[in-house]
């Protein structure tokens, strides 16, 4: 196990900057997820950590040692790729021990490593099979096992579950989580799937355009996004983001927005805070996650957002309900059976969680 420090790392391809001053600290034993859309630089950063792509400037530090000039094979890291990259003519046993044989490990060391890893990953009954005889999930477990036999300082995962179907992804997420809880090896995991990020990470780094947008725990990233990009990217369904203006009515901060100028959407945010006061009269964006909207049968109260149900999407455990309110389209997360197309409803906003963003800088406004 080891710590990892990314210090002001840049990566240039000619005039194209794919990493822009990236700074990240990973503590010993943490599970860090690099999250972002395709092309945001997360895989490039993982390759830089692995030593597969030299950085243009900055430092990669593993366990206190700058490894920029240390070749990949000597960094004591192990990588699991999106493609399983198994040797098709070798059995599972030989795939697991291939790297050990290359490094000259004894037969006893190989057998001990296989026994340990096969037991953890439930590969005991598969050791004499070849990759063609395995399911996708079994192949991915073999790929993980090949990394584990080395007992590296750091595990690197590059979108390892993207080739699996939905059920296998769920199963393998649980396997990876159990593996980390058991081994406690420092792990860096790349994905564009926010469900993977939220369920696996102890710390998430959200990236966009080669830059770090926010670093924090999954719950912090979800409930307190630093900017509109993070707010919109994290969460499924996505956060409702409504353009409007912040007004002062008596001692209260009131958000007034909506696409219809004649029938504004109003949300009384309560007594104005010192953080909100400088934004009175300015353009802001109200951020409300679907589950922060509560259903009400009251269709007259001015304290509620009055809306009409447009589409109901039952999922079994919840109803995702698309509503129309003052020209805005909102998404709410209701209990099963709640919401009928064409029905008029009231929506109560959870004011303890609702967020405001500066419409110009797109940064969250601190209360």
Q: Domain locations in the chain?
A: 4-233, 240-358
- Check residue 263 and give its pLDDT: 60
Residue 66: Cβ within 10 Å count? 12
What's the CA gap between 218 and 238, in Å, rounded? Answer: 15
What's the CA gap between 287 and 342, in Å, rounded? Answer: 25
Residue 250: Cβ within 10 Å count? 8
Cis amide linkage into residue 57, ω under 30° from 0: no
pLDDT in tens, the chain (367 residues): 689 999 999 999 988 999 999 999 999 999 999 999 989 999 999 999 999 999 999 999 999 999 999 998 889 898 888 777 788 899 999 998 888 887 888 888 888 888 888 888 888 888 999 989 988 888 888 888 888 887 889 999 998 888 777 887 888 888 889 888 988 999 999 999 988 999 999 999 999 999 999 999 999 999 999 999 999 999 989 999 999 999 999 999 999 987 665 567 899 999 999 999 999 999 999 999 999 999 998 888 888 999 999 999 999 999 999 999 988 999 999 999 888 899 999 999 999 999 999 999 999 999 8
What's the CA gap between 58 and 10, in Å, rounded? Answer: 6
* One CATH from 3.90.380.10, 3.20.20.70, 3.55.40.20, 3.40.50.300 for 4-233: 3.40.50.300
- Check residue 260 and give its pLDDT: 60
What's the CA gap between 42 and 36, in Å, rounded? Answer: 7
- Check residue 333 and give its pLDDT: 95
- Per-residue tokens: 66: 């700058």
- Check residue 63 and give its pLDDT: 93
- Per-residue tokens: 32: 């860090």
pTM for this one? 0.89
Looking at the structure, give the CATH architecture of the domain made up of residues 240-358.
Beta Barrel (2.40)
């Amino acid at each position: 196990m080891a710590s990892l420090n990314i210090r002001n790392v840049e990566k240039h391809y000619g005039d194209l900057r794919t990493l822009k001053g990236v700074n990240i600290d990973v503590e010993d034993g943490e599970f860090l997820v690099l999250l972002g859309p395709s092309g945001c630089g997360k895989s490039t950063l993982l390759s830089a950590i692995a030593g597969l792509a030299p950085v243009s400037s900055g430092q990669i530090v593993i366990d206190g040692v700058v490894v920029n000039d240390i070749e990949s094979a000597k960094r004591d890291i192990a990588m699991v790729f999106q493609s399983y990259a198994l040797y098709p003519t070798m059995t599972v046993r030989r795939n697991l021990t291939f790297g050990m044989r290359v490094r000259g490990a004894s037969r006893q060391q190989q057998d001990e490593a296989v026994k340990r890893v096969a037991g953890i990953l439930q590969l005991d009954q598969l050791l004499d099979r070849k990759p063609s005889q395995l399911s996708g999930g079994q192949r991915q477990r073999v790929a993980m096992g090949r990394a584990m036999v080395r007992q590296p300082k750091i595990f690197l995962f590059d979108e390892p579950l993207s080739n699996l179907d939905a059920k296998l992804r769920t199963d393998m997420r649980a396997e990876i989580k159990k593996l980390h809880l058991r081994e406690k090896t420092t792990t860096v995991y790349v994905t564009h799937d926010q469900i993977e990020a939220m369920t696996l990470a102890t710390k998430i780094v959200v990236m966009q355009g080669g830059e770090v947008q926010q670093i924090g725990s999954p719950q912090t990233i979800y409930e307190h996004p630093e900017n509109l990009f993070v707010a919109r990217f994290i969460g499924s369904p996505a956060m409702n983001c409504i353009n409007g203006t912040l007004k002062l009515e008596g001692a209260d901060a009131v958000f007034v927005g909506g696409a219809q100028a004649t029938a504004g959407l109003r949300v009384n945010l309560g007594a104005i805070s010192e953080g909100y006061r400088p934004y009175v009269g300015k353009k802001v964006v109200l951020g409300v996650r679907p589950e922060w909207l509560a259903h009400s049968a009251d269709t007259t109260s001015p304290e509620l957002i009055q809306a009409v149900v447009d589409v109901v999407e039952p999922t079994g455990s919840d109803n995702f309900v698309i509503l129309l309110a003052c020209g805005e389209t909102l998404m709410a997360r209701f209990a099963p059976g709640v919401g009928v197309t064409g029905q008029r409803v009231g929506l109560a906003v959870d004011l303890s969680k609702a967020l405001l963003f500066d419409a110009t800088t797109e940064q969250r406004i601190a209360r």
